[in-house]
Structure 1
Amino acid sequence: MRIVWFLLEKEVRQLLRNRTLLALLLVAPIAELLLLSFAANYEIKNLTLVVVDQDHSPAARRLLNQFQYTPYFRLVQLRPTSQAAEQDLLSGRADLVLVIPPRFERDLVRGGHAQVQLLVNALDNVKAGLASAYATGIVQGYQGEERPATVQAALAAPSGLEVVPAYWYNPLLNYKTFMVPGILVEIISLVVMLVATLNIVREKEIGTIEQLNVTPIRKWQFILGKLLPFWAAGLYQFTIGLLLARFLFHVPMVGSVLLLYGIMAVFLLVPLGLGLLISSVSRTQQQALFVAFFFIFIFILLSGLFTPTEYMPAWARTLDWLNPLLYIIDIARRILLKGSTLRDVLRPVLVLLGMAVAVNALAVWRYRKTSG
């Protein structure tokens, strides 16, 4: 370990002299966490709304007020016909068109129910789905409020069950509560893997690797000396990220933070080991970056951070078994939001531990103390 300590001292001095790399390692992840946590927003507001009111009744105006007094929609135009409103959809001036048909109030009073038409711009399917869900909820809520106002509707209303949902672990349905833990571990893994990927291959390009190769340093000592500084930097990033998550984004921390630290310490060995493995087999930094980005894109896209893994094809779910981000994102959310214990997350922790041992053993085995 005395030899490892000398290697650590060398790596730290090199890191302190490289101000750009130091900023990338210590400052960039925090800035990215702040940026992505506000940008990756599942809550869409100010959707542009065009209304075609063919009834012009008090009931129609009350329905229109329901849309105007919500932050999700912004009324931009009243059109006389559906054809004119469709042109707004075609030109992109409207996200949603609400068509209130003739005799809307009469049908609502006499029959207890009426129909309206929603035309949704589905060019962006995510925004279209949310716009349709928001609008449908407003219309259904309005109909429930209007029906008791009529005698016939009150008599015809069947007695039934009232469903009151209880949202556990995220009662306010705040998207930051769900996204911030996943974004935090994703950014940290991305940065430490990129930095580790460039480490050994940079020594090759500037020629200092030859001096290390002729020294009596064993391969495991060399890899460990390369790994530990960035491992400590990753834990520093995780500490700052947790503080921001708690005091800026108000993410609840129900479970044990110390347990999450221990699991994060194991997880960081996976991207670091993979980065050192790529760096040891690459000849240039450009080649190493291309290989690293290949793995990074696959890990992020299949991690379940933006798309639930349950809706992926069977082959993608099978491939996801080798995705370390999938396990650590799930672990972070379960510990912070649900208060899960080690027993609850033991299986993914063991998988991460196996990955860490495997990739670092490969990095040690593949490193050659030769110039060929």
Structure 2
Amino acid sequence: MSESTVLDKAHCWHPFTRQEQWCAPDHQPLMISRAEGVWIYDENGNKYLDGNSSIWTNIHGHCRPEISSAIAKQAAVLDHSSYLGLGHPLASRLSAKLVSFFPEKTLERVFFSDNGSTAVEVALKMSMQSRMQKGEGERVRFLAFDNAYHGDTLGAASLGGVNRFFSRFQQLGFETQFLSSMADLENVDTSDVTALVIEPLIQGVNEMRPWPKGMLKELREWTAGKGIHLILDEVMTGFGRTGKMFACQVEGVIPDFLCVAKGLTGGTVPLAATLTTNQVYEAFLGPAENAFYYGHSYTANPIGCAAALASLDIFEKDGTFETLPGKIAIIGQLLAELEEGRQSVLEIRQCGMVAGIQLRQGLGEAVIREMRSFGVITRNILDTIVFMPPLCISKEEIGFYVRALRAALSKVG
């Protein structure tokens, strides 16, 4: 057992992990020491395809020189400066870049934070406080969907519909009414609702389940008609995962709040952003008590902004969106072939570069463990195997993933 493993078991506490199993004497955890492109390497030199983009974060491949160079260059000039009462040029440029993906006079303001949970938390608090300051203080409730996941901070957790994660905490956060489908909107008293929150096009933690086509557009029309804010959680779906820069662009929808994180910096350093409209922003002008008193020490940190700008440049330099349709098609084709005649595969669910392979009950953990022996690392959500690779993955590497999954299924299922 390596020194790093010994120290890990003695002192570390991992997220979403059953620590008793992790620290068991016979468990040999993988200790990742380096990465390049779509490949990650353990400390013994073994090579694995990163099948879930290191928890849905990596976009252009690991250790992309343009991003690494931007981080190093920025760290040598300005490593950090507070964004509370100060600004810096990179945050200004990044804000302008993010709003440029949307039509003028729509999403015009950017509030930076640290991660997906805080990006959503910002939107929730902005929505509610803006109501209070516009004489609509009765609007205090939120709408969210069953099996949703919007983060782990207390406010975001109260909108989470996955009981195993959130049932202990829901009563402590915002008052939320959960919906199972569009039909449930008929039974909603909208008079005290401030916002509806949804992961557009596909739910992530709910075993990669796509929403019906056209639903997002219908939701936008419904919320607009009721004067309800639409908050889109694009923490997972943003930055090319669905084939567009943002999932909402697939159906031509512009929300009142857009929350991004994960892939914002290309999957390198923490940074998140909440985009919103001038109508919301203007509710916070005026006396001191109207200000939005929320923020973090590393809000809009210069190193994160440098990484994000470099990542966004790569989309244009590489022509990323021109390459995606072919990759999306080959993922669908190879996974469909995997499903044929195999009783252990119950369903394939795909939305752009995101796929969930639904297996027979009880196979999920065993299959991902076995996939490691065939050179692939990914995560399961219960019995759904996730395939969400970096966008730079080649067609040959997609084939490598599917062959590893097929081999693991042959051994386990």
TM range (shorter): under 0.3
Q: If the length of structure 2 is used for normalisation, what is the TM-score? A: 0.22
Greater percentage in helix: 1
Q: Specify which structure has the bigger relative contact order, considering alpha-carbon pairs within 8 angstroms and separated by 6 or more residues.
A: 2
| Structure showing the higher strand proportion among its residues | 2
| TM-score, scaled to structure 1 | 0.23
